[in-house]
């Protein structure tokens, strides 16, 4: 397990931008405006299969060992996902959102494909220092990817990419030039980036104390066992948080908004 949070996040960032060049460019674009040249991350997100070897708890263990605490849980009925979020007592550290696919709710065919993939993985890899940026631990054919895609975009994405940060999230509250998400979105669109419009360009708002937007995922090549194909990789998210009536800034997530953010890895 890691002993340094900043090193872990730096390693995860390098792994993420390698398949998400847009995030690298947007980071530079927004950081340019800063006197500090420093972007604060609101959160990062991970995806996994709810199976013994790969359960959400296995990923969470890496963060719990670094002092994170479980704070909220979420259910996405139609997408067959369960999620939890974690916070660190040092609120300058990013929050973590981890979801898992309830594999047992998929068709027999999809379950069989996923079982076949996870069976190739050594159970020990989940405790390795580099697990959260270790990618995929199985071979997968393009046909199996396509079969999963028919049923669950999430399953297909995870089967193709494995374990890596699905997105980093810019804390709009900590940007220097603006603290309005609509300004950030306008700036990104001017620069030619494509935003996720599912459920509206801005999901949520002051009424739920959290407003979010995201790019549509980049596309990057994946080496399937039989061919190489470019598929959606990762995206970048932008979050603006509001203070609650008690004066404290909301730190949770909003299931209705998250449901739409997941769709940032859909083929656009």
Binding site for Ni ion (CB under 5 A): 45, 237
Q: Per CB under 6 A, does 257 bind ligand OOG?
A: yes
Q: Per CB under 6 A, does 238 bind ligand OOG?
A: no
CA 264, distance to chain mean position in Å, is 10
Q: Please choose, from the candidates 222, 30, 253, the residue with its C-alpha nearest in 3D space to the C-alpha of residue 145.
A: 222
User: From the list 8, 15, 30, 47, which residue makes contact with ligand OOG (rule: CB under 6 A)?
Assistant: 47
State which residue, 114 or 141, has the beta carbon closest to ligand OOG. 114
Q: Per CB under 6 A, does 97 bind ligand OOG?
A: yes
Which of the choices Ni ion, ligand OOG, none does residue 152 contact, using the CB cut-off of 5 to 8 A by kind? none
Which of the choices ligand OOG, Ni ion, none does residue 17 contact, using the CB cut-off of 5 to 8 A by kind? none
State which residue, 16 or 262, has the beta carbon closest to ligand OOG. 262
Alpha carbons 43 and 24: distance in angstroms, whole number? 16
Alpha carbons 128 and 62: distance in angstroms, whole number? 9
Alpha carbons 46 and 43: distance in angstroms, whole number? 10
Q: Please choose, from the candidates 218, 5, 198, the residue with its C-alpha nearest in 3D space to the C-alpha of residue 95.
A: 5
Contact track, ligand OOG, 4-43, x by CB under 6 A: ----------------------------------------
Q: How many CB atoms lie within 10 A of CB 153?
A: 17
Q: Which stretch binds ligand OOG (CB under 6 A): 13-21, 184-192, 226-234, 254-262?
A: 254-262
Q: Per CB under 6 A, does 148 bind ligand OOG?
A: no
Q: Please choose, from the candidates 185, 213, 210, 209, the residue with its C-alpha nearest in 3D space to the C-alpha of residue 199.
A: 213
Which of the choices Ni ion, ligand OOG, none does residue 99 contact, using the CB cut-off of 5 to 8 A by kind? ligand OOG
Q: Per CB under 6 A, does 166 bind ligand OOG?
A: yes
Cβ 202 vs Cβ 185: under 8 Å: yes
State which residue, 166 or 171, has the beta carbon closest to ligand OOG. 166
CA 116, distance to chain mean position in Å, is 24
Cβ 200 vs Cβ 254: under 8 Å: no
Alpha carbons 145 and 128: distance in angstroms, whole number? 26
Which of the choices Ni ion, ligand OOG, none does residue 50 contact, using the CB cut-off of 5 to 8 A by kind? none
Could you say which DSSP state residue 245 is in? T
Contacts to ligand OOG by CB under 6 A? 45, 47, 97, 99, 166, 212, 237, 253, 257-258, 261-262
């Amino acid at each position: 397990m890691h002993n340094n949070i900043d090193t872990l996040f730096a390693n995860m960032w390098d792994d993420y931008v390698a398949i998400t060049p847009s995030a690298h460019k947007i980071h530079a674009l927004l950081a340019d405006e800063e006197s500090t040249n420093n972007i604060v991350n609101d959160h990062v997100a991970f995806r996994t299969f709810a199976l013994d070897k790969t359960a959400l708890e296995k990923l969470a263990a890496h963060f719990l060992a670094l002092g994170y605490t479980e704070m909220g849980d979420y259910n996405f009925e139609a997408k067959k996902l369960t999620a939890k979020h974690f916070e660190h007592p040092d609120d300058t550290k990013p929050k973590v959102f981890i979801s898992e696919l309830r594999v047992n709710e998929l068709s027999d065919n999809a379950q069989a494909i996923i079982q076949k993939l996870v069976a190739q993985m050594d159970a020990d890899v989940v405790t390795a220092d580099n697990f959260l940026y270790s990618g995929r631990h199985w071979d997968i054919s393009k046909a199996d990817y396509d079969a999963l895609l028919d049923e669950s975009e999430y399953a297909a994405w995870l089967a193709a990419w494995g374990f890596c940060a699905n997105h980093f999230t810019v804390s709009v509250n900590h940007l220097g030039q603006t603290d309005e998400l609509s300004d950030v979105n306008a700036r990104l669109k001017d620069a030619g980036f494509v935003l996720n419009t599912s459920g509206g360009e801005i999901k949520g708002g002051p009424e739920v104390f959290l407003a979010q937007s995201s790019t549509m995922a980049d596309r990057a090549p994946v080496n399937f066992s039989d061919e190489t194909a470019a598929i959606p990789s990762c995206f970048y998210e932008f979050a603006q948080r509001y203070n609650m009536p008690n004066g404290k800034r909301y730190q949770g997530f909003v299931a209705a908004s998250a449901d739409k953010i997941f769709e940032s890895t859909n083929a656009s």
